[in-house]
Structure 1
Amino acid sequence: MSDVAARAGVSHQTVSRVLNAHPSVRPATRERVLAAIEELGYRPNRAARALVTARSTTVGILTVGNAHFGPASTVLAVEAAARAEGYFVSVSSLAAYDAAAAAVALDQLVDQGVDGVVVVAPLEDVAHVVDDVAPTLPVVVVAARPGVPTTSPARYVCVDQRRGAQMATEHLLDLAHTAVVHVAGPGGWFDAVERAGGYREAMEARGLEPVVVEAGDWSARRGYEVGERLAAEVREAGGPTAVVAGNDYLATGLLRAFWEHGVRVPRDVSVVGFDDIEGSAYLVPALTTVRQPFAALGQAAMRTLLQERSGQQPGRPGPPSHPHQRPERGHDDGPRVAAVIEPELVVRGSTAVPR
């Protein structure tokens, strides 16, 4: 910085003001300093700045260690929101889905001196680890966790997974389906638990018996294996006429299995997914699904983290960032839930009235 000041013929403080976009610097002086920075290839020393300001301007992200669509899309959204606020991100992925792995990964992020942590791992074991974290820095968890303990040091933001599954199920019921099956995601995942709960509530509200088939994981392979079994049931009198899949990957496997076994979608059975992954509109038939507004989710997580860092309580939700996005709403799950964002049902060709 001293070299830049000497080259531009200004003081060290003037260079600092230019770097921090202070309005008191005259335009001509600012241009001269910027030209000197360009000539010398100067880059601010972030480590030194962190020592002075006690801020690293880095946000840690703790996430699952594979390419699950929901968490992966959320991580990208949080990273975009962080960069928009002038923060860098440091990502730590879980090698195993258990408390020990989560504790190690979280400690690693804290040891890096991050200003806060966003947890994008909607797992019960991870949530319990976060509950035990000493509140030395802000922690925001992106998960639809029911009954967040008031003693938890973390704030929670989420897309309303339960409501999304209700919307998917109600769509089928409104088409006059009565034999609707839910193919559920793996146990221990809040998303899977909440989606199964929303399905059950929608069925019971119409006086219908819920039927939940456990897939065991989120993969298309498991959807295919479940679909092979369901195909025989669809052909039977009184068999299911519609399926709510735990996510789009499971739905994709179902579509393949039904096609191979001569079960026509949606003529013989309707299928609804969850997430609206890229390409779901180009399946045959195009998949009806529940879309999650990941950009709004990332913005809510980052906004909550910054509010926690500044010691403020999260304020009222802002308006949607684009016309097709539903606004986030408050939640009655307790003071630790900062924002719940509404999902959107996207109706396509994989659902129709029962034959």
Structure 2
Amino acid sequence: MTSTRPPSMADVAARAGVSHQTVSRVLNAHAYVRPETRERVQAAIEELGYRPNRAARALATARTKTVGVLVTNATFFGPASTAFAIEAAARAEGYFVSIGSLPAYDPQTVRAALDQLIDQGVEGILVVVPQREVMDLVELVAPTTPVVAVAARADIPADSRIRYVEVDQALGGALATRHLLDQGHRRVVHVAGPAGWYDADERAGAYTRTMGEAGLESRLVPAGGWAAADGYEVGRALAAEVASGGPTAVFAANDTLAMGLLRAFWEAGLRVPDDVSLVGFDDIDGSEFLVPALTTVRQPFDEIGRAATHALLWPDAAQVAVVIPPVLVVRDSTAAPAPR
């Protein structure tokens, strides 16, 4: 049976044909090592994928009680809330959290971020960057260290070494769309999040399918981002359409986009929900205090944090993905369409 343990310093010494002490000297940049010996040790390190665990050397138990969390460096509500929830769940289990952020999404940056966490001796890594290009890279360079990703990935590779935890984004998108259809709306527009984000893709796909199942035409309006400013720019154009008898309802891909839409509709003299109904996604803090209070789809971030941490610390060999259902929260921003 093939061993799943990470390579040790003794393995490096055996591969290079040197003593354990010589490997230690190379790792610590000791001056009294012959160049040819140093090269042989470094080649063995590369071949075996050995990584010095500083914390393990300091602790007799070889346990750091630390997990790494890789996140986007942008302050998006979903990833940030998930990272906070993971930190709380890990702390409750007696673990520390080391955060690594991604300033860019190229292979070198992703690999360097993972390497930095591994070099700190983390016992596992949670990836909270739900973008297709990033997860493809993480799959490609996935280390022997256990990895759990929080991402609504429908196309998990059959040979993936990564476990996935997700909120059912497709269910959430369907709940939002069906709610508007149940209110009697037939001209519903979806203001979509940026392409390449699993959450945005799943919500948009669910909206399109739900409209099609109802025999209605779907229409995706890309916002280009997740920010309120993106929603505001889209909303200025949509407001003119609503005023001229166009859509009667809008499903926004997240609550901050919905906030921008609310502003644009208000500036145009439109009333929500009298002239146009509006649904968001996430149930961010304060969404119930908007005017009107925002109907939205709640993501249970605390539950996500607990599930992701549990999947990392106590993996179930039979469970490749954990799926958590969202909840529709109906407030004042949706109503039946007014007669036109």
Q: Distance in 1 between matches of 2:332 and 2:190?
A: 19
Aligned match of 1:248: 255
Q: Which has the higher mean CA deviation after the structures are superposed, 129-138 or 200-209?
A: 129-138
Q: Give the structure-1-normalised TM-score.
A: 0.78
Aligned match of 2:175: 167
The answer to whether 1:183 aligns with 2:191 is yes
The answer to whether 1:271 aligns with 2:268 is no
Aligned match of 2:16: none
Q: In angstroms, what is the RMSD of aligned CA positions? A: 1.5
Aligned match of 1:132: 140
What SS class does the counterpart of residue 296 from structure 1 fall into? Answer: helix
The answer to whether 1:341 aligns with 2:324 is yes
Aligned-pair identity in percent equals: 61
Change (3 A) 1:177 1:134: closer
Deviation at 1:134, TM superposition (A): 4.4
Aligned match of 1:324: none
What SS class does the counterpart of residue 284 from structure 2 fall into? Answer: coil
What SS class does the counterpart of residue 108 from structure 1 fall into? Answer: helix
Deviation at 1:240, TM superposition (A): 0.3
* 8 A Cα contact 2:187 2:247, kept in partner: yes
After TM superposition, which residue ranges in structure 1, 4 or more long, deviate above 3 angstroms? 46-51, 97-100
Change (3 A) 1:196 1:48: closer
Q: For residues 1-355 of structure 1, what are the structure 2 equivalents within 5 Å?
A: 47=55, 51-237=59-245, 239-308=246-315, 312-313=316-317, 336-337=320-321, 339-355=322-338
Deviation at 1:135, TM superposition (A): 4.2
* 8 A Cα contact 1:99 1:125, kept in partner: no
Q: Give the structure-2-normalised TM-score.
A: 0.81
Q: Distance in 1 between matches of 2:224 and 2:248?
A: 22
Structure 2: 5+ residue runs without aligned partners? 1-53
What SS class does the counterpart of residue 340 from structure 1 fall into? Answer: strand
Structure 1: 5+ residue runs without aligned partners? 1-45, 315-334
Q: Which has the higher mean CA deviation after the structures are superposed, 267-276 or 49-58?
A: 49-58
Change (3 A) 1:300 1:230: same
Aligned match of 1:30: none
Write the letter of the residue equivalent to 2:279.
V
Count of aligned residue pairs for this structure pair: 285
Write the letter of the residue equivalent to 1:196.
A
Q: Distance in 2 between matches of 1:273 and 1:159?
A: 16
Q: Which has the higher mean CA deviation after the structures are superposed, 65-74 or 99-108?
A: 99-108
Deviation at 1:49, TM superposition (A): 7.9
